[in-house]
């Protein structure tokens, strides 16, 4: 079993106001398939809000992959993708 | 989902851009450019084209400057002119929700619709079950005649293919007092005589077509002028921003507020006064008493439930008490209530002690524009703090709980009844309590289901905010 999928939600004021405040309930909204395999944490400002080239807030990282204008659905999709990659990796290892 | 969607985020982005423009070196130019910058050439349009998007954004910017669509002086009037007149505004004279007509999608009137899943079957259960003969078959498919349909929904239940759907009009469904309806063009209009400013339609509209006149510019101007301005933070602020209350106080001081007071302290006083009033009035004078802290409920009583007026508590709301304390100590101070509520603007308009009302969305926009990160702020003490009772006000059951705690051993005499959220049905039940009684002797009414934590101006999932509040109450 590989490590948990790391979901880091930026809770700097900009991200929090623009929607991260609603995303902090993600743990409760995860579908069954993702329960127990995802670790969700809030972080201090990641600094992306100052750089328009990174997109718009709220920002989050899923296994270090940066997501902008993130939504609960977007985070769940990114977790599914990360889960698929991990499984794929495991297959290759075998 | 209900509170966080693209429509909601666009509204917040406009507020942020207006606040940033205000703080910039050339605010007029920045204000004029907001629609262009949000929908630059070549970007994807949300509606038919970017030009329509820009026109809608112009109206959103007007709302963020404190104007409604009705205030539009001419189609060629640039936003900078509205910005200038917003800066001239000395005091708030008008509040109320309005529909941005061009943003309203004029949702389909007929509540029931036959989809292309209709097989044009032989059984035609929809037609057989329709009591009004409203269903015809055209080109082998069922069609509902909106002139005859009475929205009973029997066809939907009867169809074996689930081919009939109900298409509600979200704003009309959400309005507890039927204050919003279509004009002849099919677009929604708010009847100000009926509207209780609860803001449910603002949250419900998927096109974010309903706007509230912001008071953000007025507060920004006051803060910039250096006048003594005090922030009165609603008990529901817990969980609405990162960090704790002391960090929030520091963030507000960085914005320019001289003092930050917890309205939870005013709520504690509301508890004391309301408990005394309940003891005095209930029994001989009246069979029950209702709370008075929810301004949308108070408006509903005034406009729709006059028979309930004798049962409403006379105790001032926590906002009124807190603002009065501040003005009593220094009448020169400007008071700004900050909360999740749109209806508080209506209450404030009738109370000279409250100068301005901001929502958490507006405060959030100001903090973003000023680049203040609450989590990085060094905590400072609040000039007035609340206790557990007052701090518990923003959740349904909180007022009742605080009064029970205040009654102590006598709490058994209190027979509480809760109206947790107002919709057209609960409003009806509330109306009946005036004649039939309520089945108890104390009625707590919260217009927003769940309490103020679920208000239209919140930034945080109510479940998350609820957990943060529980943590705080354990320490209080």
pLDDT tens, B75-119?
Answer: 899 999 999 999 999 999 999 998 999 999 888 876 899 999 999
B94: alpha, beta or left, given left = phi > 0 and alpha = psi -120 to 50?
beta
B216 touching A (Cβ < 8 Å): no
Hey, is B317 helix, strand or coil?
Answer: coil
The b-or-e profile of B32-45 (16+ CB within 10 A means b, else e) is: bbbbeebbeeeeee
Hey, how many other C-beta atoms are within 10 angstroms of the C-beta on A81? 14
Q: What is the pLDDT of residue B296?
A: 98
In 3D space, the residue among B305, B281, B282 whose CA is nearest the CA of residue B432 turns out to be B305
Partners of B295 in the β-ladder: none
Distance, CA of B297 to CA of B418 (rounded, Å): 13
pLDDT score at B99 = 94
From chain B, pick out residues whose CB is under 8 angstroms from the CB of A18.
Answer: 9, 12-13, 16, 368
**Residue B233 DSSP one-character state:** E
- Give chain B positions within 8 Å (CB) of A13: 241-242, 251, 364, 367-368, 372-375
Looking at chain A, which residue has its C-alpha nearest residue B361?
A: A17
Which helix (H) or strand (E) covers residue B409, if one does?
none
- Encode chain B (476 residues) as per-residue pLDDT tens digits: 467 888 889 999 999 999 999 999 999 999 999 999 999 999 999 999 999 999 999 999 999 999 998 888 888 999 999 999 999 999 999 999 989 999 998 888 768 999 999 999 999 999 999 999 999 999 999 999 988 999 899 999 999 999 999 988 999 999 999 999 999 888 999 999 999 999 999 999 999 999 999 999 999 999 999 999 999 999 999 999 999 999 999 999 999 999 999 999 999 999 999 999 999 999 888 999 999 999 999 999 999 999 999 999 999 999 999 999 999 999 999 999 999 999 999 999 999 999 999 999 999 999 999 999 999 999 999 999 999 999 999 999 999 999 999 999 999 999 999 999 999 999 999 999 999 999 999 999 999 999 999 999 999 999 999 999 999 998 88
pLDDT at B26: 97
Residue B225: how many other CB atoms lie within 10 Å: 10
Q: Do A18 and B367 touch (CB under 8 A)?
A: no
Task: Please name which of B106, B150, B129 lies closest in space to residue B142, comparing C-alpha atoms.
Answer: B129
**Terminal Cα distance for chain B, rounded:** 31
The residue of chain B with its CA nearest to that of A19 is: B4
B368 and A13 in contact by Cβ < 8 A?
yes
Distance from C-alpha of B137 to C-alpha of B347, rounded to nearest angstrom: 53
B375–chain A Cβ distance below 8 A for any pair? yes
CA–CA separation, B353 vs B330, rounded Å?
A: 11
DSSP per-residue codes, B160-213: TT--EEE---HHHHH-TT--EEE-TTS-EEE-TTT-----HHHHH-TT--EEE-
Distance CA B172, CA B179 (A): 8
Residue of B nearest to A15 (CA): B368
* Residue among B242, B251, B367 minimizing CB distance to A11: B242
Q: Quote the pLDDT of residue A92.
A: 55
Taking the Cβ of residue B459 and every Cβ of chain A, the question of whether any pair is shorter than 8 Å is answered with: yes
Contact B289, B277 (CB under 8 A): yes
* B12 reaches A (C-beta below 8 A): yes
Contact B234, B37 (CB under 8 A): no
Tell me how far apart the alpha carbons of residues B300 and B136 are, in angstroms, rounded to a whole number.
42
Name which of B406, B412, B469 is nearest B441 in CA terms. B412
Q: How many CB pairs under 8 A join A and B?
A: 73
Nearest one of B353, B385, B350, B71 to B248, comparing CA atoms = B385
Entry field: residues in chain B = 476
Q: Which among B344, B29, B41 is positioned nearest to B197, based on CA atoms?
A: B344
Residues 6+ apart with CB under 8 A from B263: B232, B233, B234, B235, B318, B319, B322, B337, B339, B386, B390
Find the helix or strand (DSSP H, E) in which B141 lies. Answer: strand B141-144
The residue among B6, B9, B463 with the most chain A CBs within 10 A of its CB, best to mutate, is B9
What ipTM describes this predicted complex? 0.90
Question: Is A16 near chain B, with CB under 8 Å?
Answer: yes
Letter string b/e over residues B313-339, b meaning 16 or more CB atoms within 10 A of that residue's CB: bebbbbbbbbbbbbbeeeeebbbbbbb
CB contact set of B21 (below 8 Å; sequence gap of 6+): B27, B30, B31, B34, B83
Judged by CB atoms closer than 8 Å, whether chains meet at B364 and A16 is answered as yes
Element (H, E) at B296: helix B295-303
> Given an 8 Å threshold on Cβ–Cβ distance, is B460 in contact with A24?
yes
pLDDT band at A90 (very low <50, low <70, confident <90, very high): low
Measured between alpha carbons, how far is B144 from B114 in angstroms, rounded to an integer? 7
Which ranges in B207-283 belong to alpha helices (H)?
Answer: 216-225, 245-255, 263-281
**Inter-chain CB proximity A13 and B12 less than 8 Å:** no
Cβ of A14 and B241 within 8 Å?
A: no
Give the pLDDT score at B432: 95
Min Cα–Cα distance to chain A from B463, Å: 7
Q: Which residues touch B408 (CB under 8 Å, ≥6 apart)?
A: none
B368 interaction partners in chain A (CB closer than 8 Å) = 13-14, 17-18, 49
Chain A residues lying within 8 Å of B459, measured CB to CB: 16-17, 21-22
B-contacting residues in A 33-52 (Cβ below 8 Å): 42, 44-45, 49
Separation between Cα atoms, residue B31 and residue A51, nearest integer Å: 21
């Amino acid at each position: 079993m590989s490590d948990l999928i790391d979901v880091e939600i930026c809770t700097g004021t900009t991200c929090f106001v623009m929607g991260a405040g609603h995303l902090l309930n993600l743990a409760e909204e995860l579908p069954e398939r993702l329960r127990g395999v995802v670790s969700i944490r809030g972080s201090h400002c990641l600094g992306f809000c100052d750089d328009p080239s990174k997109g718009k807030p709220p920002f989050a990282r899923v296994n270090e992959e940066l997501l902008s204008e993130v939504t609960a659905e977007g985070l769940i999709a990114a977790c599914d993708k990360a889960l698929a990659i991990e499984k794929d990796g495991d297959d290759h290892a075998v | 989902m209900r509170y966080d969607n693209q429509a909601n985020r666009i509204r917040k982005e406009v507020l942020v851009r207006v606040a940033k423009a205000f703080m910039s070196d050339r605010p007029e130019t920045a204000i004029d450019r907001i629609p262009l910058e949000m929908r630059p050439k070549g970007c994807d349009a949300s509606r038919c084209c970017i030009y329509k998007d820009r026109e809608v954004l112009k109206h959103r910017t007007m709302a963020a400057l404190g104007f409604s669509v009705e205030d539009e002086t001419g189609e060629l009037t640039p936003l900078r002119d509205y910005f200038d007149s917003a800066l001239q505004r000395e005091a708030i004279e008008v509040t109320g929700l309005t529909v941005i007509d061009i943003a309203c999608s004029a949702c389909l009137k007929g509540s029931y619709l036959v989809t292309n899943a209709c097989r044009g079957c032989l059984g035609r259960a929809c037609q057989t079950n329709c009591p009004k003969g409203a269903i015809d078959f055209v080109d082998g498919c069922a069609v509902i005649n909106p002139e005859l349909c009475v929205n009973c929904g029997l066809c939907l239940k009867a169809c074996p293919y689930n081919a009939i759907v109900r298409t509600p009009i979200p704003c009309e469904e959400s309005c507890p007092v039927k204050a919003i309806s279509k004009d002849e063009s099919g677009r929604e209009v708010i009847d100000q005589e009926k509207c209780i400013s609860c803001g449910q339609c603002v949250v419900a509209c998927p096109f974010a077509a309903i706007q509230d006149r912001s008071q953000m510019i007025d507060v920004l101007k006051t803060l910039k002028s250096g006048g003594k301005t005090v922030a009165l933070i609603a008990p529901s602020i817990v969980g609405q921003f990162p960090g704790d209350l002391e960090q929030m106080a520091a963030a507000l001081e960085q914005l320019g507020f001289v003092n930050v007071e917890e309205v939870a302290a005013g709520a504690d006083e509301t508890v004391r006064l309301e408990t005394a009033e309940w003891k005095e009035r209930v029994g001989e004078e009246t069979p029950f008493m209702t709370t008075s802290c929810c301004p949308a409920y108070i408006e509903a009583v005034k406009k729709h439930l006059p028979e309930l007026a004798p049962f409403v508590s006379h105790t001032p709301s926590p906002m009124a008490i807190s603002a009065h304390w501040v003005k009593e100590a220094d009448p020169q101070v400007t008071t700004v209530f900050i909360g999740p509520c749109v209806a508080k603007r209506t209450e404030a308009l009738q109370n000279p002690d409250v100068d301005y009302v901001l929502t958490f969305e507006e405060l959030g926009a100001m903090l973003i524009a000023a680049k203040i990160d609450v989590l990085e702020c060094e905590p400072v003490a609040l000039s007035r703090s609340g206790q557990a009772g007052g701090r518990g006000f923003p959740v349904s059951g909180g007022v009742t709980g605080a009064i029970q705690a205040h009654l102590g051993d006598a709490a058994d005499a209190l027979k509480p009844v809760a109206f947790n959220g107002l919709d057209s049905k609960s409003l009806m039940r509330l109306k009946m309590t005036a004649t039939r009684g309520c089945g108890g002797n104390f009625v707590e009414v919260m217009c927003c289901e769940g309490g103020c934590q679920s208000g239209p101006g919140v930034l945080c999932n109510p479940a998350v905010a609820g957990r943060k509040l529980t943590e705080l109450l354990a320490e209080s």
